Amino acid sequence: MQFIVVIPARYASTRLPGKPLRDIKGIPMVQHVWQQACKSSAARVVIATDDKRIKEAATAFGAEVCMTRDDHISGTDRLQEVAQTLGLSNDQIVVNVQGDEPLIPPEVIDQVATNLANSSTAGVATLCEPLGSVVDFVNPNTVKLVADAMGNALYFSRAPIPFPRDKSLGSDNSLPEDARRHIGIYAYKVASINQFVDWDIAPLERLESLEQLRFLANGIAIHVADACAPVPGGVDTEDDLNNVINAL
């Protein structure tokens, strides 16, 4: 099984401008992500960006860079442009590793790619982890999911799912045993992302602002599994950045 990693890196972040180039222990954030991805079993690691400053920095530390348009609506659209530019075949597996996750464990990159390769039904694979906090369970910024017995996603939502009808969510002990937080790492077959860009935005995707719902709305199965290692959150704010610096 062979796969490649694509790391989208946009300069224009509203909450943390220039985020991919922010300094962490003397090197830019995107270099940390690239180094973690290079520790995985990926045959190739590519940084996808629409900004020349990021391209120059990435080229300087030895990364392969693919320039993309700056008008993509979603990250999946950007990934499809990269697949097209690189001439990837329809059965090629591509893992999307976010450019703001400098602590991403290499083993989960391998895991999500392997899960997709081993699935006979899925066109996409992703990961999750158990939820242990009622605060996170009801937080709309924490995306939850439910899956079937075969490990394929039934739904992703910002709402608390599955909701325990006969329990009061008064303490962490009242959480459903199968409450899961979605971890935003994806493995795709190129054929699936080629289909994605041809579909209209799905009504549920628009309502929840979750682009993975477009796959489900169009009959593409998404395999999900608990991550094999803890996955720290990404960097969205100055506080997040300082937490990563302290962790390193």
Q: What does the alpha-carbon distance between residue 242 and residue 16 come to, in Å, rounded to a whole number?
A: 12
d(Cα 29, Cα 9) in Å, to the nearest integer? 10
Average pLDDT, the chain: 93
Q: Which domains does the chain have, with CATH numbers?
A: 3-231 (3.90.550.10)
In degrees, to the nearest 5, what angle opens at C-alpha 152 toward C-alphas 144 and 131? 25
Q: Which strand (E) or helix (H) includes residue 122? A: strand 122-130
Please report the pLDDT score of residue 11 as a whole number: 86
pLDDT in the model for residue 146: 98
Residue-wise pLDDT for 19-63, tens only, equals 999 999 999 999 999 999 999 999 999 999 999 999 999 999 999
Q: Residue 221: what pLDDT?
A: 98
Residue 68 near residue 81, CB atoms below 8 Å: yes
Q: Tens digit of pLDDT for each residue in 66-96?
A: 999 988 888 888 999 999 999 999 999 999 9
pLDDT given for residue 38 in this prediction: 98
